[in-house]
Amino acid sequence: MIRSVFLVEDHPIVRQGFVQLIEQENDLKVIGEAEDAATALQLITHTSPDIALVDLSLKNSNGIELIKDLNKQCPKVPILVVSLHDENLYAERCLRAGARGFIMKTEATDNVMTAIRLVLSGEIYLSPAMRNRMLSRFTTRGDVDRDSVLESLSDREFEVFQLMGKGQKTRIIADKLNLSVKTIETYKAHLKTKLNLEDATGLIQVAIEWNLKKQFYGDENMKKL
């Protein structure tokens, strides 16, 4: 099956390079390009690609705001940020905005393809260094206590938490679980209370970090942490 890719990048030469790189792959095809957020939002809404590659520096616009807008209008389109911006400063910010991954343009082309395919598979991509940085925060004493709280969640609460950790938005979670958006929002409110979190941003961050930890250690090893 051929998966469709949309490129959002304001440098024509860089876009051309990505097109050549992606279309060397038998299972990927670029179906659209844009250099600014407004055009990208319009075309992605119209074409519904399988994945959008988004730079943070765009012509007359902001990549993070585009990520937020895409998640509202095209929640089924996963976003991979490909940027020269320092991942230590921007990766978590992009994940909180709704992106499913962050990779720097300086990475090897093989890593870029790995990132694309991982995001297409429903997972979150970060460089090993960035993963380790986030995981190191998740292995403090307070997070061990939080793990014990996670074990006390109801099956449905935990299911919602897991899907949030994969970057799924409320509407998508509701569709997957055959529940209303209002019901999912109620579960999220319960999660914030049980995990002692003040807002939705904190809940999303904890869920994403937990999912990264699960990917890194595996289910069985997580039980031993």
Give tens-digit pLDDT for 142-162: 554 566 677 778 888 988 998
Task: Tell me the three-class secondary structure of 55-83, residue by residue.
Answer: CCEECCEEHHHHHHHHHHHCCCCCEEEEE
Q: Are 207 and 215 in contact (CB under 8 A)?
A: no
Share of the chain above pLDDT 70, in %: 89
Assigned fold of 136-224:
Arc Repressor Mutant, subunit A (1.10.10)
As a whole number of angstroms, the distance between CA 219 and CA 214 comes to 6
Give residue for tokens 């260094």: 129
pTM for the whole structure: 0.70
Give tens-digit pLDDT for 198-222: 888 889 888 888 888 766 655 444 4
**Dihedral of CA 160/161/162/165: which sign?**
positive
CATH number of 3-126: 3.40.50.2300
Please give the mean pLDDT across all residues of the chain: 87
As a whole number of angstroms, the distance between CA 91 and CA 160 comes to 23
In the chain, where the domains are located: 3-126, 136-224
Rg (CA), the chain: 18
pLDDT of residue 217: 55
As a whole number of angstroms, the distance between CA 30 and CA 52 comes to 10
As a whole number of angstroms, the distance between CA 156 and CA 7 comes to 36
